[in-house]
Amino acid sequence: MTEVLAAIALGVPSTVVVTALAFAMGAVLGVPLALARRSGPAPLRWLAQALIDVLRGIPPVVWLFFIYFGLGNDVVRIEPLVAGTVGLGLIASAYLAEVYRGGLLAVHAGQQEAAEALGLSPGTTLARVVGPQAVRVALPGAATYLIGLLKDSSIVSTIGVTEMVFRANAVSRSTGDGLMPFLVAAALYIVLSAPLAWASRSLDARLRRRVAR
């Protein structure tokens, strides 16, 4: 069992890297998407909504295939790791844009009005008044998404990234054992997500203490 575990654990770095990079990409790109969706000229708002709907409406593995086999073959040569990370990152930006939108909507309209009455510029209002409060609401949703993204990173195994599931499949094929490698992989995912879940809960508690004064 330990050889199986060691072989599959070799995939942990890839899993973590894909998850982290995709989340970072999504967290950053989600901001302009959310802002465009919320306050922009009508065609821009419509475009942002369409982008979000299309990114979330097509299964992630289909997006990965589109990027790796589609664009990768016909347009430009792409590494599996890059294709996987970019694909998941784009999808993450759509989901996180919705999480941000929820956070922005949760901020009392009165805050915006007060900021305007004080003569603050829209940029300052967003950065100093509305934004921080929106982040507080959005953080739990973003944390939940991150935990989900850890599991979704398994999908990049289908385009050849040598992360945990890829290696579990390899071990399974070479040993002929269809049960143990995948049980080990499942256990590893659960173990990896535990610190994230714990961090999310303590973050929740700390935020609630701060706000409830």
Q: 57, 110, 123, 195: which one contacts another protein (CB under 8 A)?
A: 57
Residues 6+ apart with CB under 8 A from 107: 130, 133, 134, 137
60 touches another protein by CB under 8 A: yes
Record the tokens describing residue 70, joined without a space.
């589609």
Residues 162/68, Cβ–Cβ less than 8 Å: no
Q: 10, 40, 45, 65: which one contacts another protein (CB under 8 A)?
A: 65
- The Cα–Cα gap between 21 and 84 comes to 10
Q: What does the per-residue mask of binding to another protein show for 176-195, with x meaning CB under 8 A? A: -xxx--xx-xx--xx--x--
Residues 6+ apart with CB under 8 A from 106: 133, 134, 137
76 touches another protein by CB under 8 A: no
Q: What does the per-residue mask of binding to another protein show for 148-167, with x meaning CB under 8 A? A: ---xx-xx-xx------x--
Residues 61/137, Cβ–Cβ less than 8 Å: no
Least distance from C-beta 27 to another protein, angstroms?
21
Binding site for another protein (CB under 8 A): 53-54, 56-63, 65-66, 69-71, 73-75, 151-152, 154-155, 157-158, 165, 168-169, 172, 177-179, 182-183, 185-186, 189-190, 193
